[in-house]
């Protein structure tokens, strides 16, 4: 991993601007752990005295999450106002201030968002894409589209649209009540995508270890790229048991909530592949550190969602694997991420290259 810069330009943070939108979506996000028919998103701007603003966002799954997230972020604003625009120093300061209450849950997500937006602002203040600040250079990675419908017919239709749009793979939401239903979904999408098209599967943690072992023994014949979160995310021993016996690589990591989780999971050899979540792991620096822990064990690292940001982080690692695009929050961006020939490469635009679509934001603004 490239050395992380310890300080930025001479710019200072002047405060945080926090907004919440509740987006309508064409297709609900269906998972084995519940369906989500609207998409609530928190938008954060780190404002600076350099005339640039850094952005970060978080899809909150449930509208009830917007209010506490907005409240916490607004309360963090006075703690960062006047600070030098150093993502690392700001992150350390906030974590130190919260040490006694503990950096968990929404508070942890809020601090991670501030760190991410600070990186974006630093890139803009210095005229560099974040990938360059990290010592990397733009590089393309294969990018898959997550197929958010669990109905086999609807999923095949979304799969065809994603292939036409140029995605390099498709991730299916598995973990239906029966193996037969999971197989019907895989068969339907396989027929639409063709024999050699990369397909992943995600159980979203709903199976017990014996159920997962039985289901995976059948799905193993389908040649999927990986099977994600077959059992409870923190059951590293159970994941390791499955990883040892499954033919299909096991993928986990999106529910690592700290570097300690990453270290524990890797030490337990809980999975063949890992995919830390940018916000849950604690921000951009934490994502890179988790990726580095994985690199030391020869474990490929993928991004869990957030392709806008992670496409800048991956080139700073030696073990970058796949980018994921779900796209539920696409409407808030002026130029949503799109693949080219199955892949995506970050641009040379300063920061993370994200620009808000203020018209859409104005239309769906709730606070
Ligand atoms: Mg997943």
Examine residue 53 and state whether it is found in any structural domain, yes or no. yes
Residue 315 Cα to ligand 1 midpoint, Å, equals 22
The answer, yes or no, to whether residue 85 has pLDDT greater than 70, is yes
pLDDT for residue 242 is more than 60: yes
Sequence-separated contacts (24+) of 154-157 with Cβ below 8 Å? 154/27, 155/185, 155/188, 155/189, 156/188, 156/189, 156/191, 156/192, 157/192
Is 101 a domain residue?
A: yes
Q: Which residues pair with 143 in a beta bridge?
A: 323
Domain assignment present for 1:
no
Q: Which residues contact 272 (CB under 8 A, 6 or more apart)?
A: 226, 243, 249, 250, 251, 299
Residue in 55, 124, 145, 173 annotated catalytic: 173
Q: Are residues 213 and 307 in the same domain?
A: yes
Same domain, 78 and 167: no
From CA 229, how far away is CA 164, in angstroms rounded?
Answer: 28
- Whether the per-residue pLDDT at 300 is higher than 70: the answer is yes
Per-residue pLDDT tens digits for 157-172: 999 999 999 999 999 9
Using CB atoms within 10 A of its CB, is residue 33 exposed (0-12), middle (13-18) or buried (19+)? middle
Is residue 202 located within the same domain as residue 243?
yes
Q: What is the CATH number of the domain that holds 188?
A: 3.20.20.120
pLDDT digits (tens, 9 = 90+) for 262-298: 999 999 999 999 999 999 999 999 999 999 999 999 9
Would you place residue 305 in the very low, low, confident or very high pLDDT band (cuts 50, 70, 90)? Answer: very high
- The CA 31 to ligand 1 mean position distance, Å, reads 9
Give 2's pLDDT tier (boundaries 50, 70, 90). very low
- 285 CA distance to ligand 1 centroid (A)? 21
Say if residue 83 is in the same domain as residue 141. Answer: no
Q: What's the 171 CA to ligand 1 centre distance in angstroms?
A: 9
pLDDT, one tens digit per residue, over 42-63 is 999 999 999 999 999 999 999 9
Is the pLDDT at 7 greater than 70, yes or no?
Answer: no
In a domain, 315, yes or no: yes
Q: Known catalytic residue: 173?
A: yes
Whether 201 and 325 map to the same domain: the answer is yes
The CA 226 to ligand 1 mean position distance, Å, reads 11
The pLDDT of residue 301: 98
- Asked whether residue 4 is domain-assigned, the answer is no
Kindly state whether residues 236 and 295 are assigned to the same domain.
Answer: yes
Does 231 share its domain with 109?
no
Q: What is the distance in angstroms between the CA of the first residue and the CA of the last residue of the chain?
A: 39
9 pLDDT band, cuts 50/70/90, is: low
pLDDT digits 0-9 by tens, 210-227: 999 999 999 999 999 999
**Confidence bin at 5 (pLDDT 50/70/90):** very low
Q: Which protein residues have a CB closer than 5 Å to ligand 1 (ion)?
A: 202, 228
pLDDT, residue 268, reads 98
**CATH number for the domain harbouring residue 59:** 3.30.390.10
Distance (Å, whole) CA 257 – CA 236: 14
What is the CA(332)–ligand 1 centre distance, in A? 22
d(C-alpha 118, C-alpha 102), whole Å: 22
Find the 229 Cα to ligand 1 centroid distance in Å. 6
Total Cβ atoms within 10 A of residue 102: 9
Classify residue 141: in a domain, yes or no.
yes
Say yes or no: 144 and 105 in one domain.
Answer: no
pLDDT tens-place string over residues 108-158: 999 999 999 999 999 999 999 999 999 999 999 999 999 999 999 999 999
Domain identity same for 122 and 136? no
The number of domains in the chain is: 2
* Residues 93 and 195 occupy one common structural domain: no
- The active-site residue, picked from 304, 312, 321, 325, is 304
Q: Is the pLDDT of residue 3 over 90?
A: no
Q: Are residues 112 and 174 in the same domain?
A: no
pLDDT digits (tens, 9 = 90+) for 317-327: 999 999 999 99
275 CA to centre of ligand 1 in angstroms: 9
Contact 228, 56 (CB under 8 A): no
Tens-digit pLDDT profile for residues 188-198: 999 999 999 99
% of the chain at pLDDT higher than 70: 98
| Residue 22 bears catalytic tag | no
Residues 318 and 234 in one domain: yes
Percent of the chain predicted with pLDDT > 90: 97
For the stretch 344-355, pLDDT in tens is 999 999 999 999
CA 45 to ligand 1 centroid distance, Å: 27
Show the domain range for 344: 132-356
Sequence-distant (≥ 6) Cβ neighbours of residue 348 within 8 angstroms: 129, 132, 138
């Amino acid at each position: 991993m490239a050395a992380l810069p310890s300080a930025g330009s001479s710019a200072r943070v002047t405060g945080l601007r926090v907004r919440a939108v509740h987006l309508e979506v064409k297709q609900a996000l269906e998972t084995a752990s519940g369906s989500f028919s609207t998409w609530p998103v928190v938008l954060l701007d780190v404002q600076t005295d350099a005339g640039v603003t850094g952005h970060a966002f978080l899809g909150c799954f449930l509208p009830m999450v917007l209010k506490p997230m907005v409240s916490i972020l607004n309360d963090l604003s006075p703690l960062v106002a006047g600070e030098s625009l150093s993502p690392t120093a700001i992150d350390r300061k906030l974590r130190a201030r919260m040490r006694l209450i503990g950096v968990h849950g929404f508070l942890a997500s809020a601090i991670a968002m501030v760190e991410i937006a600070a990186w974006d602002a630093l890139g803009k203040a210095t005229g560099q894409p974040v990938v360059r600040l990290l010592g990397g250079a733009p590089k393309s990675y294969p990018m898959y589209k997550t197929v958010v419908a669990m109905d086999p017919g609807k999923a095949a239709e979304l799969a065809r649209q994603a292939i036409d749009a140029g995605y390099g793979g498709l991730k299916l939401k598995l973990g239906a009540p029966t193996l037969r239903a999971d197989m019907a979904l895989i068969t339907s999408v396989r027929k639409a995508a063709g024999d050699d098209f990369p397909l992943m599967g995600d159980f979203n943690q709903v199976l017990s270890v014996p159920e997962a072992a039985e289901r995976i023994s059948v799905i193993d014949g389908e040649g999927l790229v990986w099977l994600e979160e077959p059992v409870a995310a923190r059951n590293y021993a159970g994941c390791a048991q499955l990883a040892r016996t499954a033919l299909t690589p096991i993928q986990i990591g999106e529910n690592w909530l700290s570097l300690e989780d990453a270290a524990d999971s890797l030490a337990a050899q809980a999975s063949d592949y890992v995919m830390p979540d940018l916000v849950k792991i604690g921000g951009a620096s934490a994502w890179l550190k988790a990726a580095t822990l994985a690199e030391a064990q020869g474990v490929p690292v993928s991004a869990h969602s957030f392709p806008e940001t992670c496409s800048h982080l991956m080139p700073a690692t030696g073990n970058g694997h796949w980018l994921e695009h779900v796209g539920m929050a696409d409407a808030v961006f002026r130029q949503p991420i799109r693949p080219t020939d199955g892949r995506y490469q970050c641009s040379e635009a300063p920061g993370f290259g994200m620009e808000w679509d203020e018209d859409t934001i104005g239309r769906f603004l709730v606070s």
